[in-house]
Chains A and B, each alone.
Chain A
Amino acid sequence: MSEDASLMQRSGIPAHLRRVDPAVAIAFGCILLLLLGGSIYSSNFLSPDYLLQQLKVASFLGVIATGMMMVILIGQIDLSVPWVVAAGAMMACAATAYGSVGSFFAIPFGILCGAVIGGVNGLAVAYLRIPSMIITLATNAVVQGLMVVYTGGFAPQDAASPAMRFLATGYVIPPIPNGVLVWLVVGLLAVFLLVRTTFGRSLYAIGNRERAAYMSGIDTRRITLLAFVISGGLGALGGVLLAGYASKASQSMGDAYLLPSIAAVVLGGTHVLGGKGSYLGTVAGVILITLLQSILSVMQIEEAGRQLVYGVVIICMLLLYGRQKLS
C-alpha cells in the first residue's frame, strides 16, 4: 500500500511543480489586489495586527472549509454545515454545564456530535446512495429540529468553557492567535491525508469516476462515509471555535458559513464535481473570502450590499475559471 502511495508521489510532485494551478494563482492574485485596494482606503490594512486578526477570523472558516473540501473532492456536497456548526457549538457548551469533567470533555463531545451527524450523512450517501445534496438538507432539518426541541424544552447552558475560549482567542505563541494554530494543525493533517495516504488518493479517484475506483478495488462506500464523518467533525470543531470566540453558542450561528465554505473551496480551484483540487487553493479561497468580508465591513457597507457584492464576486470568479468544458 505504501509503495503505491510513494509511486504516485514520485510521479505526482514534479508534475505539480511544473504547472501551478491557474485557479490557485488567480485566487492569490485576488488576495493581493484586495490588500492593495484596501491599503489605499486605509493604511491599517497592511499592519501585522490587522492581518493576524484576519487570519484568526479566517481560521474558523478554514476549519469548516477543510471538511467541505473532503466532501466536494468525492463529488458530493455537505449542505448540513449550518446546523452541524450550531450543534457542535451548542453541544460543547451543554457539556460545560456538567462541572469540571464536562468542561474537560466539552471540545471532544462537540466534535463527536458533529462526527455522528456526518456519519448519518455518510451512511445515507454511501450505503443508501441518496444524493448528498438532498440527504444533507434533510439532516440539516433534523438537527435543527433536535436543537429547537433541546433549547425550547429547557433553558440550555450557552456559555463556552474556558478551554474553548482559550482555543479560539488565547495565545500559546504570543503574536499568533490559537485559532490560527488549530487551522494550521488541521490543514497539515488534511494535506497529509490528501497527498500521502491511500485515503486521500481514493478521494480523488472517487471524484474522478466512482465506478472505476470501485472496480480497481477501492472500498468506495467506506471512503465516502469517512469523508462525511470528517466533514461533520470539522464543521463541529468550527462551531466549537466560534462559540469560544463569541464565548457563547446561538441558534443561527452556522447560517453564515454554508455559502462561504462552499465558495472558498470552489474559488480555490477544487472542481465542484470532484476529483481535482489542492488544499493550497482552499487556503487561498478562505483568506480571499475573509478579506472580502472584512473590507466590506470596514467600508461600512450594509449587510444588503455585502450579500450583493459577495454573490456577484463569487459568480464572476467562477465565470473566470470554474466553467465546465464544452461537451
Chain B
Amino acid sequence: MKEIPHGEWRFWYAQHKGTLLAAALFAVMFVIYVSNHPAGFTPNVVQTASNKAALLAFVAMAQCFVVITAGIDLSVGMILILCNCLASWLVVGTPFETALGVVAVLLTGLACGTLNGLIIIFGRLQPIVTTIATSAIFFGLALVLRPTPGGAVNETLADAFTSKLFGVFPASLVVLAATLLVCWIPFSRSILGRAAYAAGSAENAAYMSGMPIKRAKFAAYALAGLMSAIGGLYLTFFSYTGEAAFASGNAYTLYSIAAVVLGGVSLAGGKGGAVGAVFGALAFRTIGDLLFVFDLDPLWQPLFQGVVLMLAISIGCMGLARVRNRLEWFQ
C-alpha cells in the first residue's frame, strides 16, 4: 500500500472526525455497559444489544441519506411502521412466498421514499411539511393493514436474521454491515453521492458546475425509504407481529435524528456519513441500556434519553464559541 503523506492524514481525519467520535463514544459506553452487565461480555449479550440497536441503525441510515442533502425526512418512522404492518401479512408461508413478501415490503419502502422524493424535488415543496403530511398517509395505510395488532411472520426466517452466525456473530450486525457495503458505499462513491454531498454544502455552486442535483436528492429520498423498509422488516422479525403504533413511529423518527446528530452528520448538510449515523444509533441505544444496567427506574428512561439528546445537540453547536464576528452567526 502506498504511504499516505502527512497532510493527507489531516484531511482524512477532518473528514471523518464525527464518525470517529461517534465510534469512540459508542465504544466507551458499550464497555461500561458490558462491564456492569450481570452476564458479562458473552455472545448472547452482544446479540441482544445488536438486535435492539439494528432497528434504529437502519432508520438512522435512512435519515442520513436525506440529511447529507440538507433535507430532512420526518416520515422514516411511519415508513417503518407501514412496512412492519405489511410484513406481518406478506412475509409468511412457503420459502418462495416469504421471499416474494420480503421483496414486496422492500419495494413498498422504496415506493414511499420515491413518493417523498417526487413531491419534494419535482413538486418543489419543503421537506419538513411534505414528510409530515406523507407520514400521515403512511400511518393511515398502516392502520388499514393492521387496525389491531396481530399477524405473523415466517419464524424460521425471523430467527435466522436475529440469531448468531457460527454461534458468535450477531446476524443483525452482519446484515447491517452488508447494507452499508451494498447501499451506502457505492452511493457515496458514485457521482450521485458526490452530488448529494455537493447539494448539501453549496447547492447553487453544485448546480452551476453541472452536477445532477435533482437526481441525487431524489435517489437520497428513495434510498431512505428502502432503508426504513429494512428497519420495518427487522421490527417484524423481532416482534413476530405488525402493529400500527403512532407513538413508536414518532419515536423512531425522533431517535433517527438524534442518532444522526450523535453520529456527526451535520444537519446543515454536506458532512458526515452513514457509518457515523450507525455508530450514533448504536450509542443512542446503549444510553437506554445503561439505565437498565445501573438498575434505575425505567420511568426515567425517556427523560434520560431526552436530556442526552439535548446535550449532544448543544455540544454539536460548540462551533458557535469560535465565531469571531457576529455576522458569522448567520452562515
Contacts and interface: CB of A to CB of B under 8 A. Distances in A.
A145 B303 contact: yes
B257 interface: yes
Contacts of A143: 306
B203 to A, nearest CB: 8
Interface string A147-188: 011001100000000000000000000000000000000000
A130 B246 CA distance: 27
A130 B313 contact: yes
Nearest to B267: A131
A311 B267 contact: no
A262 B132 contact: yes
A153 B125 CA distance: 44
A323 B327 CA distance: 30
Contacts of A26: none
B54 interface: no
Interface stretch (A40-48, A91-99, A301-309): A301-309
Contacts, number: 156
Interface in B58-108: 72
Contact of B126 (A135, A137, A259, A272): A272
B136 interface: yes
Contact of B133 (A144, A210, A315): A315
Contact of B128 (A133, A135, A141, A211): A133
A308 B317 contact: no
B141 interface: yes
Where chain A touches its partner, the secondary structure class is helix
Interface in A300-327: 302-312, 314-315, 318-319, 322-324, 326-327
Interface of B: 72, 119, 123-126, 128-130, 132-137, 139-144, 147, 204, 207, 246-247, 250, 254, 257-258, 261, 267-268, 299-307, 309-310, 313-314, 316-317, 320, 326-327, 329-330
A83 B290 CA distance: 25
Given A133-B267, A272-B126, A307-B137, 16 more contacts: A128-B314, A131-B267, A135-B310, A148-B302, A149-B299, A211-B327, A262-B132, A263-B129, A306-B140, A307-B139, A307-B140, A318-B125, A318-B129, A318-B130, A322-B125, A323-B123
Contacts of A310: 133, 136, 140
Contacts of A129: 317, 320, 329
A266 B313 contact: no
B224 to A, nearest CB: 16
Contacts of A144: 302-303, 306
Contact of A311 (B124, B133, B261, B320): B133
Residue of B134, B304, B306 contacting most chain A CB atoms (<10 Å): B306
